[in-house]
Amino acid sequence: MRAIRVHRFGGPEVLSYEEVPIPEPGPGEARVKIEAVGVNFIDIYHRTGQYRGLLPITLGVEAAGVVDTVGPEVSEVRPGDRVAYATQQGSYAEYAVVPAWKLVPLPEGLDSRQAAAVMLQGMTAHYLTHSTYPLRPGDTALVHAAAGGVGLLLVQMAKRRGARVIGTVSTEEKARLARQVGADEVILYTQADFEAETKRLTEGKGVNVVYDSVGKATFDQSLNCLKPRGMIVLFGQSSGAVPPLDPQVLNIKGSLFLTRPLLAHYIADRAELLWRANDLFKWMAAGELSVRIDRTFPLAEAAAAQRALASRQTMGKLLLIP
Ligand code: NDP
């Protein structure tokens, strides 16, 4: 089969499109014939070594397709089932072996592209708004990169929870899109000081929660946007890693809470995974959650997809098609 592999950390040029053996499922595992692969920022961290794993690796952690065969002791899925998954390494490929408990059966009417587009970013938006800081009506949330893959879904879910949403984006086009999916206010943080704007928009009070995936470029000012006892949810580092922090800062700035969550810890067992994924599928079927696929690329062009994502050109999901 063909797969995108990384043998040394580096830029998009280290992505290698190669022939590798089709993997065999072991106990508790299933093999999926992949129809659509989700591209995520974490794939870039794996490629550059910001998240350092053992090399070589097949990139990618998200896909949708059809179960092809299963190993022993698998009860969750059967060959022929249409499924999707996230948080399992090795999806930039024609086939992947996945622990069966991580596979979510797809409902009728949900195609592989839509499924691959929503799993990782959708479940992330779900846990951020329902579990990490469970938003309530009356809360105000600041969402950075509101027109990104996670951002567009996060805005919709925050609105669904009854919160007021202030989004930040880099361009007018992104601002229009963030408003379209429900953001109450949008700040062009490339032109205006988002800290001053957030204070103005909240009459000096600040917000209950900042969902910050941008990291280095926004983190310090994000802290200043919070109400006393507010929470900063640092869930990404698209602009670079946040340097070490003195905990006393959280005291001085208002007894703040800081968390650095990871999706894998919020889909820790099958019940939690199915809860989050099935909520997404239900809302999509009802027309209550819009999933925007920005572009699709052939699997062989994974480097172009990663370049687009890293250069802030995208609004929504990027997919690779094997
Ligand atoms: P996005 O589609 O959000 O792309 C990243 C966006 O970040 C850009 O479009 C851009 O929006 C903004 N950005 C700001 N500064 C930079 C910069 N210097 N370089 C690149 N982008 C920048 O990506 P994803 O939706 O895939 O992921 C968003 C973030 O969420 C990532 O940091 C990712 O690691 C994190 N994440 C974390 C998870 C977790 O469980 N912890 C799970 C899923 C994602 P703009 O142009 O508007 O500034």
Give residue limits of the domains in the chain.
2-120+264-321, 137-260
Burial-class residue 310 by CB neighbours within 10 Å (0-12, 13-18, 19+).
middle
Residue 268 has pLDDT above 90, yes or no: yes
Q: Which of 288, 144, 138 is nearest to 216 (CA)?
A: 144
Band the pLDDT of 52: cuts 50, 70, 90. Answer: confident
pLDDT at 57: 95
Per DSSP, 322 falls in state -
Overall average pLDDT of the 141-165 stretch: 98
At residue 134, φ and ψ (nearest 5 deg) are -70, 105
Q: Report how far ligand 1's centroid is from the alpha carbon of 145 (Å).
A: 6
| pLDDT tens digits, 89-126 | 999 999 999 999 999 999 999 999 999 999 999 999 99
- For residue 141, list its beta bridge partners: 165, 209
Query: Do residues 141 and 201 touch, judged by C-beta distance below 8 A?
Result: no
- How far is Cα 183 from Cα 155, in angstroms, rounded to an integer? 6
pLDDT at 185: 98
Ligand 1 atom nearest 309 alpha carbon:
4
Overall average pLDDT of the 285-314 stretch: 97
Does the domain made of 137-260 have the CATH classification 3.40.50.720? yes
Atom 24 of ligand 1, residue of closest alpha carbon: 149
- Please count the other Cβ atoms lying within 10 Å of the Cβ belonging to residue 199: 16
The answer, yes or no, to whether any atom of ligand 1 lies below 6 A from the CB of 167, is: no
The C-alpha angle 175, 113, 237, rounded to 5 degrees, equals 50
Ligand 1 atom nearest 169 alpha carbon:
47
The answer, yes or no, to whether any atom of ligand 1 lies below 6 A from the CB of 25, is: no
The answer, yes or no, to whether any atom of ligand 1 lies below 6 A from the CB of 188, is: no
Query: Do residues 317 and 149 touch, judged by C-beta distance below 8 A?
Result: yes
The answer, yes or no, to whether any atom of ligand 1 lies below 6 A from the CB of 150, is: yes
Q: What is the CATH number of domain 2-120+264-321?
A: 3.90.180.10
pTM: 0.98
pLDDT at 203: 98
Residue 144 has pLDDT above 90, yes or no: yes
pLDDT at 6: 97
Same fold, 2-120+264-321 and 137-260: no
Q: Report how far ligand 1's centroid is from the alpha carbon of 217 (Å).
A: 12
Ligand 1 atom nearest 261 alpha carbon:
41
- H/E stretch holding 319 reads strand 317-321
Query: Do residues 236 and 214 touch, judged by C-beta distance below 8 A?
Result: yes
User: In which residue are the tokens 């993997």 written?
Assistant: 23
Overall average pLDDT of the 221-228 stretch: 98
Residues 6+ positions from 262 with CB-CB distance below 8 Å: 235
- How far is Cα 37 from Cα 86, in angstroms, rounded to an integer? 10
Atom 3 of ligand 1, residue of closest alpha carbon: 148
pLDDT at 126: 98
Overall average pLDDT of the 162-178 stretch: 98
If one residue of 48, 155, 213 were mutated to test the ligand 1 pocket, choosing by the most ligand atoms within 8 A of its CB, it would be 213
